[in-house]
Amino acid sequence: MEMETASSPLLTLSVWSSYIAINFTLAFLTYVAHWPPKSWNFWINVVTTTIGTVFNEFPFYIISFKVWMWFAVIIMDAWIVVSFSKSPLILLLAFTSEIFTTSILSHNFYKNYKSRRIVHAYTHTFERYGPELPNITSTNFWLRFMLPIYIPTNVKVFRNITYGTLQELQEIGKENASYLKLDVYVPKHVKKADRRPIMLFIHGGSWIAMDKSIPFPQPFYLSSNGWIVCSINYRLAPKNPYPACLIDCKRALRWIKENIASYGGDPNFVAVSGDSAGGHLAALMSLTANDKCYQPGFEDVDTKVQACACINGVYDVTNKHNAFTPLFTKWFVKEICGKSGDEDEKDVRDMLENASPEILVERKGNNDEKIVPFLVFHGDNDQLVNIKSCREFIKTFRKYSPKSDLVYIEFPGAHHAYHSVSSPRTHYSLIAMLRFLNWVYHTSSSNNITTDFNGKKKLINVEEDKYRFKSLDNLVPII
């Protein structure tokens, strides 16, 4: 007992030093997640995005860890003779950091749940086209905190299907052949004759990285709710300069229209979605349908899509609103497009404008062309794609194409990668996406024999559900 007592001051110092160090580290990371530093540096923003995603989407984990630390200290005090620190300064620092960290994490928890109210406000008009939004007392809500990866058991995945033709594979070479592949997510209950709607999902990664194999919640969730999802790879820059990536997306769409019926899909209804750079490509696919410039060798194929859902997408690569670092456009021209000219040169400027969804929307509006229904998500704490860029896109869309259907959902506190994990906020956004896509699918089809969310046939009165999103445009975001 004397040996324990003699060693207890050193043990006490060690325990409390570790506790203070961990506590202040958590406090610092919580601060960075909630108030990320404003920086034009890409890698700094990648780090803050990663921290923000963990601390904002899963604050319950951090709070649980802090509770565990308190229990550990109490147990050590009772059983191993590690007394609580007698230093008022240490106790004050510990208490202050505890209050600060826990209050911010609790606020993040509240914002996560608040997403339910935001989604309800913008999708209540067509809420019957998807499941209910789980509240805080439901098991489903808490499962989203405990299971960061969402992989349902009622989905079959057919992987690495080549969507390029033999001639195209020969043209791009063996080293690029792996890029022209896609995975098909099919609900297990679907039969070939069911003709389910299709979602083409495009991964992000700054046009230079990432892969379809990343387990994003979107393909799994939509396919578990009756959709067939094709998640694609595409050639990446700088080795394959833009517009190679857009051409590949359209090649994948061609494959879908020619082959998806054998999986139980409806080739006449294809929606497109993507995140970040994938959101940029999804928007371009929706706005450049049947543009022969992006369909070499398959100019006669119909590349129209029926709806678009963008997540934290890029909508203006000219940077005319100064939403990005001043070097962004130079980087895009050189690294993504493989051009050596200045962005002010006419051919480079034309290329940038043709690659900017916001400018394409303006052109279509000036020509009185209706745009396919758009659903746009963005987090206001996005450090990689400034929220200003998205807000300007929404303004342009509403100004130049007021008769087209648009739903914009902005999530307070959400970082760039919030959608990549299965948090409650992500789940609410997925329900919003499902409601929106089902609404478009059911109301745009001339056949009123449709399929409900359990795969059973039922009658839908299409006429009564032709809502106009214009009535939602004046809603004030709930922040």
Count CB-CB contacts under 10 A for residue 450: 15
* Phi, psi angles (nearest 5°) of residue 271: -100, 155
Find all residues with CB under 8 Å of 347, minimum gap 6, and list them: 341
User: Strand runs (DSSP E) across 58-195, as ranges?
Assistant: 155-162, 181-187
Of 340, 327, 267, 337, give the one whose Cα is nearest residue 302.
267
Token pair in block for residue 433: 């996406």
Token pair in block for residue 12: 């006490």
Find all residues with CB under 8 Å of 341, minimum gap 6, and list them: 333, 347, 348
Residue recorded with tokens 């709710």? 225
Residue 202 in contact with residue 273, Cβ under 8 Å? yes
Helices 2-34 and 88-123: angle between axes, nearest 10 degrees = 40
Residue 219 in contact with residue 182, Cβ under 8 Å? no
Please confirm, yes or no, whether 14 is among the known catalytic residues: no
Residue type, 161: I
CA atoms within 13 A on the CB side of 478: 13
Q: Which alpha helices (DSSP H) does 148-191 contain, by range?
A: 166-172
Check 85, 276, 401, 404 and give the catalytic one: 276
CA atoms within 13 A on the CB side of 43: 0
The gap between the terminal CA atoms of the chain, to the nearest Å, is 58
Cα angle: 32, vertex 202, 117; to 5 degrees: 55
Cross-strand pairs, 184: 158, 230
Q: How far apart are alpha carbons 421 and 432 in whole angstroms? A: 16
Sheet holding 406-411, edge to edge: 155-162, 181-187, 228-232, 196-202, 265-275, 307-311, 374-379, 406-411
Residues classed as catalytic: 276
